[in-house]
Amino acid sequence: MFEIGQFIIYGNNGVCKVVDIGTIDMDGISKERLYYTLEPYYVKGSRILTPTDNKKTVMRPLMTREDAETLFRQVKHMEMLWVPEEKKREEAYKSVIATCDWNEWMKVIKTIYFRQQKRMEEGKKITVSDERYFKLAENCLYSELAVVFNITKEEAKDYMLQKMDT
């Protein structure tokens, strides 16, 4: 169970702060079941109520600084997700984003980043699908890194791109 004040990843909502844990006083809802009250970090004034035993949405603690440093060291040697068929590639990206696994997010970013570089050299634009999942994966990963290191998402992105290119 997470603790009040802890930052977690809550599915596609990304980084959230646990602001309360308790029951909900509402007709038709069990007084025995505990709920987290979450505040999305990047959506001020918003709140999410979710059961503490929710199995449908991925909930996990934020990566640690050590996890992030390991990711930084490994990114250059990390394999890419190469799926030659456009439709299957989009499905692969979608399933990877849903895992809420920062290593998998990084594989999507690295794959699309280098795919985009190659397409630009050929005089082609990035595909709509690649652009969409690139932005999604970047937002997920860089939002988490920004909170972990108390920096901006842009600083997190710049640092990671530097690690990919070196």
Q: Where in the chain are the domains?
A: 7-60, 63-165
Q: Compute the Cα dihedral for 15, 18, 24, 28 and give only its sign.
A: positive
Task: Give the angle 110-112-118 at the CA atoms, nearest 5°.
Answer: 105
Task: Compute the mean pLDDT over every residue in the chain, rounded to the nearest whole number.
Answer: 92
pLDDT at position 121, please? 94
Name which CATH class applies to 63-165.
mainly alpha
Query: Under DSSP, is residue 39 helix (H, G, I), strand (E, B) or coil?
Result: strand
Q: Which residues pair with 17 in a beta bridge?
A: 7, 39
The alpha-carbon radius of gyration of the chain (Å, integer) is 18
Q: How many CB atoms are closer than 10 A to CB 41?
A: 19
- In this predicted structure, the answer to whether residue 30 has a pLDDT above a threshold of 80 is no
- In this predicted structure, the answer to whether residue 29 has a pLDDT above a threshold of 80 is no
